[in-house]
Structure formats: C-alpha cells, structure tokens
Structure 1
Amino acid sequence: MKVAIYSNDGSTSNRVAQQLKTKIDESKILEYDGLNPEIVISVGGDGTLLSAFHHYNDAVSKVRFVGIHTGHLGFYTDWRDYEVNELVESLENDNGQSVSYPLLSIKVKYSDDGPDDNFIALNESTLKRINGTMVTDIYIKGEFFEKFRGDGLCVSTPTGSTAYNKSVGGAIINPQLNAIQVSEMASINNRVFRTLGSPIIIPPDEWITIVPDNQEHNILTCDQLLIHNRPIKSIQYSICNERIYFAQYRHTHFWKRVSNSFIGVHPDD
C-alpha cells in the first residue's frame, strides 16, 4: 500500500514524520509514495489536514486520510504523536475500512474577462467586504430568498460546522447528515432592513446562490484559500459530488469529539 506523509513545520511534527517515514521504509507491506498515495497521513493539527486535503484534492476520491495530532486534539486527527508504532501496525493490517464526510462545492463567476473558478472545501467558505456593509441577494434553488446586509456570510459543511460557523452562531451538524449550512455575520435588522437572522440548513437537492450588489472589494475564502482581487458576479454553493474519506482504524464518535473539544468536563471526572 502506498503512503504519503504531509507534515507542518513544527519540530514535533517533523520528528513524528521522520519516525513514520523510517517505519514505512522498514515495512514489507507499505511503500512511501508522495505522488500517487492510497493513504495520506497528516502530521500536525486540523489546519495541517486541511492543507493536506487541498494538496491532494484532485485525487480526493482515490485516497484516504489519517490524522496525527502533535498539539491539541483536533476533529480530524485520531492519533497521537506517541502512537506511531500502533498506526503503522494498523496500516499494515488495512482492509480498506473508511468513513466519509460531505464536501462543499463552490462555483464562482466573475465579471471580468478571466476564467470562472470551481473549488471544494472541507470546512467552509466565507464572503465578506473589505470595507463597508456587504449587500447580497440570496437565492435558494434558483428562487429569491432575501437581501442580506451585514458583515458577511459563512457556508459550512457538517464537519466544518464546529469551526468558524460555530463562532458566528451557527448550529453544529452531525456529518452523517448530507447538508450545508449558511450562517450570518452581524446582519443588519431594523425597521428598514430585515434578514432571517438565523442559520439555514440546505439539503442535498438544493443549492444556494449569492449575488453581491457590489462586485468589487469582496473577500472570498475557501478553507485556507483567499480570493480578493477579482470582481465576483455570483457564487453557487452545494453539496459536492465527491466526499473525503478517512481510514477508519479507530474513529472517535462525532459527539464525543464535540464534547471533548468544547465542554471537556464529564460526570466521572
């Protein structure tokens, strides 16, 4: 089985990555291959795994990811930095087991002469204005829904619902649900202007289209990718046809991850 290692630049992550590389080279079953892997091991944290996902997103349907965290516990990292031997043993006994999560499809149309863009995101995409209030029309499945005024919008996947989406008041969604969520950032609601004022959850057979009133000076993010120098005509968000797969040698239940990350204290502690 072909294995790639994607590490951040931290000293602990580099040490763990080297230990993994040595173990893989010693294995009679595993082969290190950074170009065409079947398994991608991310060493670092959730940010490192996001980078690994985008590095290999052209082959996302062909690879499975494994996360080792070298800092605080993450949502995508099931293994600790001192468990290299146990992970390599699991790799050698791999039988193709996996768990998959939904991804976000992002189709961006620009009003300049350049080509349009298609992106996929594991966590979320946001749209904000560099200065002033952002004003956009929001369509659901091609029908006008509302005119939004405020700081911006966050569109997230279920796994991404625990990230930026949560910080702006969005709900946490179990990734077993194939859905996307739209959350507002500081919307303007008064006697003149009115938005729904709460997050909305979109099923797989619907899509969201955002059309900015002012096409200039907008900042679009797709996970860690930043777009800010092109006039945005419209953005369409939907569930991606592809999914991300994680090798399920062991997998922490989603709600236990949420509890450990945001609550931390249990009755037996």
Structure 2
Amino acid sequence: MKIAIFSNSGRASQNVSDALRTRIRFEHLTLDDAHPDIVITVGGDGTLLSAFHHYSEQLDKIRFVGIHTGHLGFYTDWRDYEVDKLVDSLAHDNGQSVSYPLLDIWVTYADGEQEKKLLALNESTLKKVTGTMMANVYIKDELFELFRGDGLCVSTPTGSTAYNKSAGGAVLSPGLDAIQISEIASINNRVFRTLGSPLILSPDEWVRIEPVRSRENLLTCDQILVENRAIKEVGFRISKKRINFAQYRHTQFWRRVSESFIGVKRNDNL
C-alpha cells in the first residue's frame, strides 16, 4: 500500500504528520506522494478540500482518510491523538470504502476560448463583484427564470452543509445523487420575481447559468476562486466521478449534522 500525507502548515498538524510518517515506516508501509493508494489529510475540511483538488486526476485510484487537528469536520473521522489506531487500520486494510457524489462544472468564457471543466466536492458559486447579478437560469436548456440578487450556489449533498445551508438551502443525504441550487440574497418584489426556494435536480438534469452581463462576475469551485475573466455561461450537473473514503471508521452523516449544528450527542448505535 502506498500512502501520501497531505497536511496544512499549522504546528499541530505538522507534529501529527511527523508522527504518522514514523509509524508508517515502522509498519513497513510505503510513503508515496505522487501515486498513492491512500491520502491521509491532517488539518480540517479545508485541508481535505485542497487534497481533493491536488489529486483530482487520480480519484478512481485513491481513498481518503481525514485527521482533524481542530474542530470536528464533515470529512475528517480521526482525532490527532489516534495516530497509532489509524496506522493499525492501514496495516490491516482490506479495501473497504464509502463514496460521495461530486459536481461537474463547465465554463464558457465571453472571449470564445475553449470550454473549461472543473470538479467540486462541496459547491460552486457565481456572484457579482458589485451590485446585483442578473442571470438567465436554464434547466435542461429550457429557460426557468431570470435571477436577480447577489448570486447562486450549486452544491453536492455533502456540500449542502456548507455555504448552501447558510444561503437557506436544505441539507441533503449523500446517498442521493443530486445537486442543489440555492439563491443568495435574491430580489423578490412586484417587479422582480424568482422561485425563492432551493432547487434539487436529479442525475439526468443539469442547470446552466447565463449572466446578463458577462463582466464583474466571480466563479468559485470549493474554496478556489476561478480566474477572473468575463463569463458567458456556467453549467452544472452531478458528476459520474465520486470521491472515496477508506471506511475504517466513518462517522454516519446525520450524526455529523446533529453534532455539528445542534450539539446533540447520539449513542453508538446511530
């Protein structure tokens, strides 16, 4: 088994990474940052998102494991003091995994350059730098509405607990292959009208957003700001690719939601 360690620059995370390397070598496992079978992230959800994008071309060959050195995250199952237990699980690995859906994004720029394709684990947003964003929203290439507001957020089920939730979107089970579109501060009055509620699209549907004015719009892919260029349109659909996590000990999704947002401690049978 080939293992990569992907850490943030914090002192606590670096200390855990050093301890991991020592224990992995002791177990005669192989460290390989270029072509790993397992990627262990040390930090938090932001670190795991960075690792996901770093290894996005190898997703079909990689399983991820997250160690959190701060607050409990949605993608990090292990604590910083559990290095020995984790390495023991690695040494007895039998290929067990759980997978989550991802978001395909394709961007067409106003200058006519070739379409750019992106992949997100959490979400993508399209916003206006200043003022109100106006955009035609198409579902399966049929005009659905003319949106007016700060922007739109398109998320995966696991990403539904992030920016999407802050924008008033629903929390979706990762067992659903679906994407969600949530409005960010939409304008609704006697003159302007949008649906005003989140949309959930099935795997055979897609959404295309066409800004009325191509300039001064910002596109994000997870925590990454996509290059600042005039955008003609952006499309989104559930991806055929998935992210895989090594299921040595994987916290049940609704337990994460309950503990993160409500603070309720569940029993071990949940």
* Alignment TM-score > 0.5, same fold: yes
CA-CA distance at 1:98 after TM superposition? 0.2
Cα pair distance change 1:266/1:26, threshold 3 Å: closer
CA-CA distance at 1:114 after TM superposition? 3.3
- Specify the code of the residue in structure 1 equivalent to 2:85: E
- Tell me which residue corresponds to 2:20: 20
Number of equivalenced pairs: 267
- Specify the code of the residue in structure 1 equivalent to 2:151: G
In percent, how many aligned pairs have the same letter? 64
CA-CA distance at 1:111 after TM superposition? 1.4
Cα pair distance change 1:137/1:56, threshold 3 Å: same
- Specify the code of the residue in structure 2 equivalent to 1:13: S
RMSD: 1.1
Matches within 5 A, 1:192-207: 192-207=191-206
Q: Which moved more, 1:108-117 or 1:76-85?
A: 108-117
For residues 163 and 118 of structure 1, the distance between their equivalents in structure 2, rounded to whole angstroms, comes to: 22
Cα pair distance change 1:145/1:245, threshold 3 Å: same
Q: CA offsets, 1:217-247, max 9 Å, x none?
A: 1000000211252110111100111000000
Unaligned 5+ residue runs, structure 2?
A: none
Unaligned 5+ residue runs, structure 1?
A: none
**Secondary structure class of the residue paired with 2:186:** coil
For residues 216 and 13 of structure 1, the distance between their equivalents in structure 2, rounded to whole angstroms, comes to: 40
**Secondary structure class of the residue paired with 2:60:** coil
- Tell me which residue corresponds to 2:184: 185
- Does structure 2 conserve the Cα–Cα contact (< 8 Å) formed by 1:2 and 1:38? yes
Moved over 2 A (4+): 113-116, 265-268
Verify: 1:61 aligned to 2:98, yes or no: no
Cα pair distance change 1:218/1:62, threshold 3 Å: same
Q: Please report the TM-score for the alignment, with normalisation by the length of structure 2.
A: 0.97
Q: CA offsets, 1:112-155, max 9 Å, x none?
A: 14332100000000000011100000011111100000000000
Q: Please report the TM-score for the alignment, with normalisation by the length of structure 1.
A: 0.97
- Specify the code of the residue in structure 2 equivalent to 1:203: S
For residues 117 and 201 of structure 2, the distance between their equivalents in structure 1, rounded to whole angstroms, comes to: 20
- Tell me which residue corresponds to 1:119: 118
- Tell me which residue corresponds to 2:11: 11
- Tell me which residue corresponds to 2:168: 169
- Tell me which residue corresponds to 1:144: 143
- Does structure 2 conserve the Cα–Cα contact (< 8 Å) formed by 1:217 and 1:228? no
